[in-house]
């Protein structure tokens, strides 16, 4: 979270949240929700591509979409192959 613009106090506030929903709401209050979840989605996609490359020796397009508990999109990666 700090790497995408949050400070130490923001990180502590999110880490102290009792639930994932409360953490998401805190990120929304801080104006960091979209950036944090988009970055998280990109990291998930990258790890999935790396896993496929390692174990299947091939590349594939991976796109990750993250949803909140109400089914609303909170972040998504951009489709990319092998990056």
Q: For every residue of 18-52, which 3-state class applies, written as one string? A: CCHHHHHHHHHHCCCHHHHHHHHHHHHHHHHHHHH
**Segment 4-48, tens digit of pLDDT:** 777 788 888 989 999 999 999 999 999 999 999 999 999 999 999
Q: What is the pLDDT of residue 10?
A: 85
Instruction: Of 35, 14, 12, 25, give the one whose Cα is nearest residue 70.
Output: 25
Domain ranges of the chain: 2-81
pLDDT band at 2 (very low <50, low <70, confident <90, very high): low
Does this model's pTM top 0.75?
yes
Q: Is the pLDDT at 82 greater than 60, yes or no?
A: no
């Amino acid at each position: 979270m700090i790497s995408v613009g949050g400070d130490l106090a923001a990180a502590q506030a999110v880490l102290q949240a009792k639930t994932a929903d409360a953490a998401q709401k805190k990120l929304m209050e801080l104006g960091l929700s979209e950036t944090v979840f988009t970055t998280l989605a990109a990291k998930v996609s990258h790890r999935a591509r790396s896993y496929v490359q390692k174990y299947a020796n091939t590349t594939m397009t991976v796109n990750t979409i993250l949803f909140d508990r109400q089914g609303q999109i909170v972040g998504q990666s951009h489709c990319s192959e092998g990056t």
